[in-house]
Amino acid sequence: MRDYLLTLCVTAAVTYLLTGPVRKFAIATGAMPEIRARDVHREPTPRLGGIAMFFGLCAGLLVADNLQNLNGVFELSNEPRALLSGAALIWLIGVLDDKFEIDALIKLGAQMIAAGVMVMQGLTILWIPVPGIGMVSLTSWQGTLLTVALVVITINAVNFVDGLDGLAAGMVCIAATAFFLYTYRLWYGYGIEAAAPATLFAVILMGMCVGFLPHNMHPARIFMGDSGSMLIGLVLSAGAISVTGQVDLDVLKVFEGSGRAATHAALPVFIPLLLPLTIIAIPFADLVLAVVRRAWNGQSPFAADRGHLHHRLLEIGHSHSRSVLIMYFWSALIAFGVVLYSVHSASMWILPVVVVLSAVGLVLLLLPRFTPRAPLWAQAFVPPRYRRRKRAAAEPDGSHEEIVPEPVPEPLGAQGMAAERTPVPAGVNGATALGARSRFSDRRKADSRR
């Protein structure tokens, strides 16, 4: 575990430290387009954040290759090289798109080529578990077709959800964390060496997202762009393909007694990993709804609009930060719920817990006007809008104090700024004081005319 933590820290540190210079580079090269109709930010923001994330990926792979407990992944498998080749290709296309706005069909073709490059180097689905049958081997063209489809769908699901500050990086980080817990259990719990590459991919993906998030949280100083969203989507799909199509469940016979029993024991999580759309269920649902909506309106499936799930959260009254947190909540509930069920599939308490948490999520969706307030002990760790302040009560001695929400500061116009500079007598509200100052100003003007 220490080697994985070191790889995670190095990947996050490299990504974090390079994001600042990349932001200056993006501004210098003009990679900060004007505000579009579908955008939610209010001022042009540089893109190309995927450059820092790609070098974080390279740093993570380099460190792992030089660690004693992880370099066996590079010696016994060609999957890390396959991942790096496909990632470099998709990253290059993303950088060009962030700068020059490449056509959607060209990007789709590049995604398929990147998936094909990984398949040619051995990162492909060889077999899948089927209920009641066991492991079913795939032919070469079946494995290639399924692998390419999985990569393209995952990349576009992540790309479609990248619409709010910190949303895509946070959701992928949640999915990668859940994925890491599952693959780490396969690798060190059951001793399945074929799960080692997927475990490494997951921890590197976590580092890439963690290192980029501080720069991308609302209000974002830089966007990851297509160079980042397509990159993390490809890394996530590569890990899912590796563990789903490369791990042989026959090794679980020792623990379960038979191949069929082993397949049934692993199905609660192998089917979601075969279709990683369950791990990233929210982005996938957004992708499906977007394609159906645009096709129904006679538009291209790649035409941008403001009908995504995060846009709808904003429309019903949620703030930017709260919309992101709600999406985080649902992603974590689905991802960790699936992984937990794979570990304790026979436990009866998992389903009630998931139902209760789902009800909590629905309540949060239905209360867009509710402003949560942090407790007193957490005042120093939350933004000002979530803090409370003390106000003396009406008692003469002022001994009793009441905790009231701290008001959110609003932007002041020219008149408001003048009113703020002028002291207001105690017991006079703002409107009365402003009217008094206005009448006093008119009286002075009349006296000057005389």
- Binding-site positions for Mg(2+) read 159, 226
Rg of the chain, C-alpha, whole Å: 27
Residues in the chain: 450
Dist CA 404 CA 260 (whole Å) = 61
Q: What is the maximum alpha-carbon separation in the chain?
A: 106
- Binding site, residues? 159, 226
Q: Residue 125 is encoded by which pair of tokens?
A: 């689905």
Answer whether 235's CB lies under 8 Å from 87's CB: yes
List 390's β-bridge partners, or say none.
403
Q: How far is CA 220 from the centre of its chain?
A: 14
Per DSSP, 187 falls in state I
Distances (CA, A) of 56 to 25, 208, 425: 17, 6, 58
Q: Give dist(CA 317, CA 305) in Å, integer.
A: 19
CB count within 10 Å of CB 371 equals: 11
For residue 288, is it left (φ>0), alpha (ψ between -120 and 50) or beta? alpha
* Contact yes or no for 333/298 (Cβ under 8 A): no
Contact 37, 306 (CB under 8 A): yes
Rounded Cα–Cα distance for residues 195 and 186 (Å) = 6
